[in-house]
Structure 1
Amino acid sequence: MKTNKLKYIILSLAVSTIALVSCDNDLLETVPNDRLSVDVFWRTETDAKLAVNGLYTDLDSTNIISWDALTDIAHTNQNFDVQAYIELGTYDGTSSKVLGEWRRAYRGIRATSYFLENVDKVASTNTALINQLKGEAKVLRAYQYIKLAAFYGDVPLVTSSITIDEGRALVKSPVSAIWDFIDKELTEAAALLPTTYPATDKGRVTQGAALGLAARANLYAGRYQKAADAADKVMKLGIYGLYESYEKLFTYAAENNKEVLFDRQFIKDTYPINVFSILAPYSQKNGGSAYVPTKALVDMYETLDGKLITDAASGYNPATPYANRDTRLKYSVFLDGDILPSGIAFKPAPTSGTADAVGSTYIASTTGFNIKKYIIADDYANPVNSGINIILLRYAEILLTYAEAKIETGQIDASVLAAINAVRNGRNDVKQPSVTTLSQTELRTIVRRERTVELAFEGQHLFDIRRWKTAEKVIPGPVYGITYKDASGALATVQVVSVNKTFDVSRHYLWPVPQKERDLNPSLTQNPGW
């Protein structure tokens, strides 16, 4: 049974709120009910712990998977989903998806800022504890700013609680200033945080998470030396490593393993998540197939001898497309013939006559592929009551960040090859041939492909193809899916009906500032092209 304190965030805060309201019959009715009142809170270490626990509820969860569906490697399955319009390029600042990510981030920023403004009111001689809690809050705030900078570019830099009137007068800060702030926050936080916690506090932000996010942020910002240095610090902590099984990495058995630097923690019944019902194939108790893999992703996985399937010497056979392939493919994507959580075989071909057949219903995958990560047989009985943690940062990303940053700075040495090859063959069930080339051009291509296949459906690819400036090349065009034998026995490839992904280089490298925010605050200027 899981015992992690963070999984009882909602329950704990609810109980504490009731206790605060009922502890004194003389409390005035004017005590605000939308925030923690300084008159009755911020008195004890327990208050501080409960307050910082609540900050974790603003972290991302399944929405990170949706970001990949805005790229070439996945697709938003239902064409009436609001983010389907982003794929088609027919969106603007009125998009609820664009607004939702903005508001989620700033909600988290406000909460963390409020915490940092008030935590020193707690009467405590345990300076280490208070500093730890401050460090957690700083990391959680920096995490939100990383997203904002990556999605929108220039955004308001808010570091304290503000009034409504102040909010209506905010102006955007240059994205360079946002990256500066993020790096400063994470550096300060790393010095305040422990490297590990007792089992009862697993899931709290660690020093490794702070350094790891600094590596990510600086890679996004193109500050490659800083990214390499931060990643190197994580590696030298000596407490992280690759989990031995990629197949089991996204299951209950692997929770809180040595590869996880940062995650969003859940627990069945008490604080569940509905990831199974969102992603599972339709045959699995009406699984939603909300976001589905594409042929573009599947084709990126090498053969077991390290060749691309486009290589004439690879032995690739389109009639048996999944044979002799990088094992991460079958661990990440449901493929034809796979056994599903219910015990039946996955048969997505339009001619299969199954519930998962392409075209059988608008909910079944339109590509014939489904995401396998996080879809666990244990959750089949109650698909909306999963307790699986959603990983937000893991060690494989650190290794690839280190390698990419060193490649971009021209510092190509044995450590670069070691980092890439650890991801390629450092697990018991992933054994791709080692890379030996020292060519910057070749290594750049290799590390980008490794990031794509290793971190598929983990929310990184959209930001990667934006910073690589390859989005305009890989996104536009039809969406393709499985290759199967049609009624005549000939091979046919699924093409998703009425979908032609669009990417306008003049404006789609940044999302627009949400129109509702600009209506409230005319001082917020719009991004170029919008």
Structure 2
Amino acid sequence: MKSNKILYIAIALALFNSSCKKALDLKQQGVYTSDNYFRNETDAVTAVNGIYSILPEEDYIGHAECTFDVPSDDYWRSGDHGEDEGIENLTYDASNAAIRYPWKWRYEEINRATNCIINIPKITAISADIKNRSMGEAYFLRAFGYWRGMLIHGDVPIITEDDYSKQLFNVPKSPIEEVRKQIESDLLKAVDLLPESYDASNLGRVSKGTALGLLTKLYMNWEKLPEAIATGQKVISNSHYALAPNYTDNFTRANETSTEMLFSIQAVQNVLPNDFTVYYIPRPWGGYGFSQPLQGLVNEFEANDPRKAATVLSVGDKVDLGDNKGLTTFTADLSATGFAFKKYAVFNTFADGGGVDHSFVVPLMRSADIYLLVAEALIRTQGAGAGDVLINQIRHRASPLLPPVVGAGMTQLIHERRVELAGEGERHQDLMRWDKKNIVDIAAIYNKAVSKAPIDQSKTVTFVRPKNYYFPLPQVEIDKSKGVLVQNPNFK
């Protein structure tokens, strides 16, 4: 998303320059609305860039959306946000702040995307390639906003183009089936409009593979397994979305050009910083120390699996903090569990100023996720062993020393998703998805104490079906709607 970075810098400079002038010295150059803003190709690209700029928001993908995975058996919430305890223990109610934070940003993303979808087709001073790409980006990003809302809340409001044109934003919830259809419709349009890949100046924009990847995830959530296989195979078979040569490559600065990065958060140090990484880094190292791995996750890794060292910082591990002091040792006092997520502990070199790398490209969806979803769908439709080839591609990429699976069923698939995607926000949603099909017993997994060594505490989570499959709508949104929005039935 290099062009986005240029945009952010330009905005920052403009704000700085304007602050140096007295208000009375400013001459109004024009007033822009949706009706008169979209004049040319530059306006279209800039408007789409504005949709992307929401992603790093701390109260959206930058942190708040990550909170919804902390009930899982992979995490100890840690941190100093009191509202996170209710999310982790599933004792939240509709007034919980963590539930409220991302709601407005999902709909801001939907709002900006819909604005582009309505107005970009009216532009005549634009090339066909840029118009198609921009429309595809807008459709994907709108689908992503609805996807996050649907995963977390189930039934959510759909704001149509007609509603938008009438400025009608206070609308009732739509049933989850309709929300899935809306997401599917937007993603299919995005698949048709988006390019397969980009040149160096536009790396980070969503591609055809990004839309196919999210569509695969939608079909798995929807239990449309044949559709998930057909869609996911289009990602797997395309060299533009090939796995990175090394697992660790996905969690270094080099990942900016990786074909495996289907979707990511991009940011610029000191201009549009990315709060995502800082939340996972220990406080003495400049982070906030949230979402720490539990011993059970660490134990899940097999011997000779280098993904463990790439994923988790353990006592005794060495890290270069870019402070010109050489390697720093990770010690037990840096974490309540004795571990931290190494895959997000990325630091600038001393030459670059040291400290937390706020411009590290954070993966939101990798090709490896799609490989394993297709493998799962094959196992569930064709039987044990049908996903072996795909699972073994993931394992062999991790290390040739890992023994290949033979006749793998769901037990092996569940293990592989846990270690491959640890800390990437998939575990809780995976377990709920499997619980609904009686593949796992999420209540049994969660309703037992999980050791939080070395501190003498434990984590116990009581999962209640069907209540905890979805979170309530934020009470503040219910109140603002004056009766138009109705709370989820298990939270009235």
Q: Does 1:451 align with 2:449?
A: no
SS of the equivalent of 1:263 reads: strand
Q: Does 1:341 align with 2:337?
A: no
Deviation track 1:314-366 (CA, whole Å, cap 9, x = no partner) reads: xxxxxxxxxxxx22111101112111234122221xxxxxxx2xxxxxxx421
How far off is 1:128 after superposition? 2.5
2:131 maps to what in 1? 130
2:281 maps to what in 1? 280
Q: Does 1:475 align with 2:459?
A: no
Check whether the contact 2:159–2:169 (CA below 8 A) recurs between aligned residues. Answer: no
2:462 maps to what in 1? 502
CA distance in 1, matches of 2:167, 2:243: 49
2:438 maps to what in 1? none
How far off is 1:96 after superposition? 1.3
Question: Greater share of helix residues, 1 or 2?
Answer: 2
1:332 maps to what in 2? 311
Q: Residues 512-523 of structure 1: matches in 2 within 5 Å?
A: 512-521=472-481, 522-523=483-484
Q: Residues 14-413 of structure 1: matches in 2 within 5 Å?
A: 25=27, 31=31, 36-38=32-34, 40-59=36-55, 60-78=61-79, 80-124=81-125, 126-160=127-161, 162=164, 166-168=168-170, 170-285=171-286, 287-304=287-304, 326-342=305-321, 343-348=327-332, 356=333, 364-378=334-348, 382-383=354-355, 386-410=358-382
TM-score (norm 2): 0.87
How far off is 1:51 after superposition? 0.5
Check whether the contact 2:262–2:367 (CA below 8 A) recurs between aligned residues. Answer: yes
Deviation track 1:360-413 (CA, whole Å, cap 9, x = no partner) reads: xxxx42111111112124268554552101111111011001111112222666
Distance 1:280 1:77, change over 3 A: same
Distance 1:274 1:143, change over 3 A: closer
Q: Does 1:425 align with 2:396?
A: yes
Distance 1:9 1:374, change over 3 A: farther
Paired amino acid for 2:311? S
How far off is 1:461 after superposition? 1.4
CA distance in 2, matches of 1:472, 1:13: 49
CA distance in 1, matches of 2:141, 2:444: 34
Q: Indicate the structure (1 or 2) with the bigger Cα radius of gyration.
A: 1
CA distance in 1, matches of 2:457, 2:98: 22
How far off is 1:240 after superposition? 1.9
**Gaps spanning 5+ residues in structure 1: where?**
305-325, 349-355, 357-363, 483-492
CA distance in 2, matches of 1:201, 1:411: 42
SS of the equivalent of 2:457 reads: strand
TM-score (norm 1): 0.81
Deviation track 1:266-313 (CA, whole Å, cap 9, x = no partner) reads: 22233222445322224424x321110001211211234xxxxxxxxx
Check whether the contact 1:478–1:495 (CA below 8 A) recurs between aligned residues. Answer: no
How far off is 1:14 after superposition? 6.0
How far off is 1:430 after superposition? 6.2
Deviation track 1:131-174 (CA, whole Å, cap 9, x = no partner) reads: 11000100011111111111111111113354898333x11111
Distance 1:50 1:384, change over 3 A: same
Deviates more, 1:184-193 or 1:159-168: 159-168
How far off is 1:479 after superposition? 3.6
Deviation track 1:78-135 (CA, whole Å, cap 9, x = no partner) reads: 3653111111233111111111222221111111011111112322252232111000
How far off is 1:12 after superposition? 4.0
Give me the identity figure in percent.
Answer: 29
Paired amino acid for 1:408? R
Distance 1:430 1:56, change over 3 A: farther
Q: What RMSD in Å do the two structures reach over aligned CA positions?
A: 2.7
Check whether the contact 2:261–2:363 (CA below 8 A) recurs between aligned residues. Answer: yes
Deviation track 1:231-277 (CA, whole Å, cap 9, x = no partner) reads: 01112223222212222321112322121111111222332224453
How far off is 1:516 after superposition? 0.9
How far off is 1:528 after superposition? 2.8
Check whether the contact 1:275–1:375 (CA below 8 A) recurs between aligned residues. Answer: no
SS of the equivalent of 1:446 reads: helix
Q: Does 1:8 align with 2:10?
A: no
Check whether the contact 1:82–1:96 (CA below 8 A) recurs between aligned residues. Answer: yes
Distance 1:271 1:430, change over 3 A: farther
Distance 1:420 1:26, change over 3 A: closer
Check whether the contact 1:273–1:384 (CA below 8 A) recurs between aligned residues. Answer: no
Check whether the contact 1:12–1:50 (CA below 8 A) recurs between aligned residues. Answer: no
Paired amino acid for 1:529? N
Number of aligned residue pairs:
466
